[in-house]
């Protein structure tokens, strides 16, 4: 079973994007690709990883992603600065 990760990216416009994956490095490369399927990051390239954490399953990763997306910008910034 693959380990899942929740990750946050810093976009070129200083916004934060949160997602889930089994391979953070590959996913960042995909976000930075000219043909990125993620519309949000496609127009905000380049992006870089500022935070990630492991999760035991896709379900757990998605639940954590949902929690992180509900945080205020201030709380997200505090999380990624630690």
Does the structure show a pLDDT above 80 at 1? no
Residue closest to 27 by CA, chosen among 44, 64, 52: 52
Distance (Å, whole) CA 75 – CA 51? 13
Distance (Å, whole) CA 29 – CA 47? 9
Domain boundaries along the sequence of the chain: 4-81
Distance (Å, whole) CA 31 – CA 44? 9
CATH fit for domain 4-81, picks 3.40.50.720, 3.40.1440.10, 3.40.50.880, 3.40.50.1820: 3.40.1440.10
> H-helix or E-strand containing 67?
helix 58-69
Does the structure show a pLDDT above 80 at 2? no
Distance (Å, whole) CA 45 – CA 78? 22
8-66 pLDDT tens trace: 999 999 999 999 999 999 999 999 998 888 999 999 999 999 999 999 999 999 999 99
Higher pLDDT among residues 8 and 2, named by residue: 8
User: What is the value of pTM for the model shown?
Assistant: 0.93
């Amino acid at each position: 079973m693959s380990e899942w990760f929740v990750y946050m990216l810093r976009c070129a416009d200083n916004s934060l994007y949160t997602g889930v994956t089994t391979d953070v490095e590959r996913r960042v490369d995909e976000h930075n690709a000219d043909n990125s399927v993620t519309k949000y990051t496609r127009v905000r390239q380049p992006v870089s990883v500022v935070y990630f954490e492991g999760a035991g399953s896709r379900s757990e990763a998605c639940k954590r992603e949902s929690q992180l997306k509900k945080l205020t910008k201030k709380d997200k910034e505090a999380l990624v600065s630690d």
